[in-house]
Every structure is written in structure tokens, then in C-alpha cells.
A and B are shown apart, each in its own frame.
Chain A
Amino acid sequence: MKVSIDGVYKSFGHTEVLKDVSLSVNEGEFVTLLGPSGSGKSTLFHLIGGLMTPDKGSIFLNGEQVNGKRGLISYMPQQPSLLPWRTVLDNVLLGQELSQKPEIEKGKDWLRKVGLGDYENSYPSELSGGMKQRVAFIRALLSPQNLMCLDEPFSALDELTRLEMQRWLLSIWEEHRRSILFVTHSIEEALLLSDRIYILSQRPAAVIEEINVPFSRPRKEALPFTDQFVAYKRHIYDVLKHEV
């Protein structure tokens, strides 16, 4: 499972949003797109999701060109986007339902695993913000597509919940590796979670630097306080500073 985006351009009218963006995600790799708000990260996701087609350039999935093809990725948006009339379990199975027969037992197992077993039959309105995001993540994880696209999934949460959710995501992902393309504007979040980071420039977005994150997995809780982490953080900050 390999995704590569090759020299993609996209404009809306006279506004150039993406300018020669190239990147790739390898099998089981956690890749983050880091950039200022409004730098076209969401547009890039829309292209990968097939909602739009690039003006120029191609998107490849396992070597096959998939420009404008939908249903090939699993997606976790910024807002949990759970259907309020469905129970937690039925929400978790929604991603599968769209393309195959839902695996009810697997859904139940996962909910139990992440401590939401008691909420199987609850409605989303009865959950807290963090719990909703967990449900949304499990839904994305259970969807049959191999590439998971996570669009600033924790940015709407409060600081403490966000930290907790980052640890939680790491623990699950390090156990069940899937290819993830993660979008964020938090430097620390990017460094904490990913294998590789692409830094995007201000609009029109282009990749200005690619960073291989050297920290070993599983990532330690004290990692953000190490000198190496701080040094990387400063470096990325300097790169981004010229962009804002």
C-alpha cells in the first residue's frame, strides 16, 4: 500500500492553492502534513478523497492513477461527524457499511478495547468530546480502505484532552500499523506522532521541507522534553516562521 502524489496543482479561479505538491506515504507509515492554517491542506485531502481532480499532476495508489476516484481512503474529519440518530456501535460500523457487510463483532471488540464498551448502545449526544473523537477514529480504523486520512482530528479539543488523545492514538497505532496521512498545524503534535513530516508553505502550498523524525517507537511520554525533540521543534519553527 503506497500512496504518492506527483506534482499536483490546483487553483480556484485565480487563487492558486496547491503548487507542484509531491509527497508519498509508504505501507504502515505515519506521515504528517504540517503547515499554516489555510495553506491548502484540506484541498489536498479533497483531491486524495476524489471530491475534486487536480488541474495538473497525478495521485497514485499502489502505482495506479486514481485522480478523482472516490471511496479509496478512510477519513477522520476535524469534527467527529457522528450520525446523531445512530448508536455508537452503528456509527463505528458506518465506514464499513458503505462498501461491505459490517462486522458487528469486530466493532464491539474495538469499542471494548478503547474503553467504550458500555457506550455501545448510547447515542453520540451522550458522549464527551474526546470519546466522540475516539469513536470517529475507530470508525476510520474499521473502514476497509488502507490509507487513513486524518484532518486535524484533535484541533477542536481542549489541551488536556488533546494530549490524552495523542497518547491514545499512538498506543493504538503502534500496535496496529496502518498508513496514515495526518494533517495538523501543531509542530509538537507532528513531531510526537509521525515518522515523516512534510512542511507546507503558505498559499499557494508547496512542500518546503521533508523531515525524517528519528525518535524510536514506542514513543516515550517524556519525549517532548528531550533536547533532541526541542531542537527539531525549533528547526521547524524557524522554517515556518518565514511562512507566516
Chain B
Amino acid sequence: MKFRVIWKKAGAVFLLFGILVIWELAVNWTDTPAWLLPAPSDIFSEAQASYPDFFGHVLSTIYLTLLGFLIGSSVGFLLAVILHILPKIRDTFYPILILSQNVPIIVLAPLLIIWLGFGILPKIIVIGLVCFFPVAIAALDGLKNTSSELKHYLNMMGATKYQLFWKLELPHALPSLFSGLKISATYSVMGAVISEWLGAKTGVGVYMTLASSSFRTDRVFVAIFTIMLLSLLFFFVIVIVERIFTKWHTKGVDKSESKH
């Protein structure tokens, strides 16, 4: 029983650790050269060695990620609210929202640089484009799928449209809004790295490009692991904020789980 509890809580950590061990052993046994695939221990010591230089890159990426995420998800949320309030426009705009996700970022990004230069604006647009979509779709669905029974009650009580939105639709949309934010948060780090590939002075993306063009595979992996770690960290921040804002939701879920 106790073992099961530990496994449930820390199973992912064990699994990850297991993969790293197998990786380490496999590289040692087959004598793979480090430029092809470095062992995790090599990556780790490289991370320690290049930390002073690397840290600045990480900070710059975090800054870009946060800024892009905040702007992107705010735009996504506002867009959802506007489309929700004006259902006639919604049907016109919904396909365009989806199409916006079909433009390959790799192709769009150089264009943005041609149009807007090497400043922060094209980078924010790239991250924003990646971030706004999950938030907009999730929020739109959350706003739309309000329980008809609660809506009926408020209508019978004479609630105005404004009251209906603030007292019912918005709080109802919060759980699904947070689902969207979690997806966006993980995407935003990738978005930031991609935007840095296209002409930035600092950032994990820059570090990564330099490392891979000089066959420093160990450094590429340092960058990859950093991106993973940042995404994870970011994800958990959103989870914590979500817990605070939707206490009722998690409380209800916990209760129904313990009943079974």
C-alpha cells in the first residue's frame, strides 16, 4: 500500500531516472563518441562548467517567455471574451483562429524579421501566436458551455447580461481557461527558443544554435534539458495559481475520488 502511494507520487521521477541510467550505460557500453551522443554524466558536468556563461542566456529566455506568454494569453483570453459576447462575429472568426495555427512558425518567423527587424516585437509575435490559441479556444469553450440550468435560474431572477457574464460564465470558464493556460505555458518556452534562433544576441535558443553548429552536442543537450525544466517549472506555477483560483473545483474532485 505504502509502496503504491510512493509510486503514484514519484513514479515519474523514478521513470526519468531509469531512462537516464539506461542511457548512461548504453553510451558507455557501445563507446558512442560524445559529439554523436554524450552520456548524461557528461551533459551534467558540462552544465556545471558552462553555468556562469549559460545562466545569462537562461534569464533572457525566461524574460522573453514570460513577456510572450502574458501578452499571448491575454490576447487569447480577450479574443475569447469578445467572440463570446458577439456570437455573430464568432462564426466568422473561428476558422481564422484555426488557420492562424496552420502557418508554420519556421516560415513565418524570418518574414516577421524582414518586416519588423531584429527587435523584441517579432519575437513576442512568434510566442504570442503559439500561446494565444490554446487559451482562446479553451476560454471560448468554457464560456459557451455554461450549465443551462444555472443560466435559466439567473435569467428567471432577472440577471442582466453583464451579471450573467461576471457571476456565471466567467467563473464557470476558469477551469477550462486554466487548461488552456497550462498548454500555452509549456508551448511558450518552445516559442521563445524558436524566436531566438532568428537573430537574438542572448537566450537558450542562441546558445543552442551556436552549440549545434560547433558540434558541441553536450551543450545542445544542456539547452534541451533546460527547456524541459523551464516548461515544467512554468507548468507547475500555473497549476499552483489554478489551485488558488478554483479551490471549489479541486475540492469537489477530491471528494468524489475518495468516495470510490
Contacts and interface: CB of A to CB of B under 8 A. Distances in A.
Interface residues of A, number: 28
Contacts of B199: none
Nearest to A70: B158
A77 B252 contact: no
A49 to B, nearest CB: 4
Interface in A70-120: 70-75, 77, 79, 81, 83-86, 94-95, 97-99
B159 A77 contact: no
Nearest to B253: A125
Task: Tell me the dominant secondary structure on chain A's binding face.
Answer: loop
B163 A98 contact: yes
Contacts, number: 65
Contacts of A84: 248-249, 252
Given A50-B158, A85-B248, A125-B252, A77 B171 contact: no
B252 A95 contact: no
A73 B248 contact: no
Given A94-B167, A125-B248, A71 B157 contact: yes
Most chain A beta carbons < 10 A, residue from B158, B172, B249, B255: B158
Nearest to A49: B156
B224 interface: no
A98 B158 contact: yes
Contact of A83 (B155, B158, B171, B251): B171
A209 interface: no
B167 A97 contact: yes
A85 B174 contact: yes
Contacts of A45: 156
A173 interface: no
B157 A74 contact: yes
A74 B256 CA distance: 32
Given A98-B163, A123-B248, A126-B255, A77 B155 contact: no
Given A83-B150, A84-B248, A85-B246, A95 B157 contact: yes
A149 to B, nearest CB: 8
Contact of B157 (A86, A98, A125): A98
Contact of A72 (B155, B158, B248, B251): B158
A230 interface: no
A77 B246 contact: no
A223 interface: no
A133 to B, nearest CB: 13
A46 B153 CA distance: 11
Interface string B147-170: 001101111111100010001100
A75 B248 contact: no
B80 to A, nearest CB: 19
A51 interface: yes
Contacts of B171: 83, 85
Contacts of B163: 98
Nearest to A73: B156
Given A81-B150, A85-B249, A98-B163, A125 B156 contact: no
Contact of A75 (B150, B153, B246, B255): B153
Interface in B201-260: 246, 248-249, 251-252, 255-256
A184 interface: no
B149 A77 contact: yes
A125 B168 contact: no
B189 to A, nearest CB: 30
A143 interface: yes
Interface of B: 149-150, 152-159, 163, 167-168, 171-172, 174, 246, 248-249, 251-252, 255-256
28 contacts: A45-B156, A46-B156, A49-B156, A49-B158, A51-B156, A70-B155, A72-B158, A75-B153, A77-B149, A79-B149, A81-B150, A81-B152, A83-B150, A83-B167, A84-B249, A85-B246, A86-B248, A94-B167, A98-B157, A98-B158, A98-B159, A98-B163, A123-B252, A125-B251, A125-B256, A126-B255, A143-B157, A149-B156
Given A83-B171, A125-B248, A126-B255, 9 more contacts: A49-B158, A51-B156, A70-B158, A71-B158, A74-B157, A77-B149, A77-B153, A125-B252, A149-B156
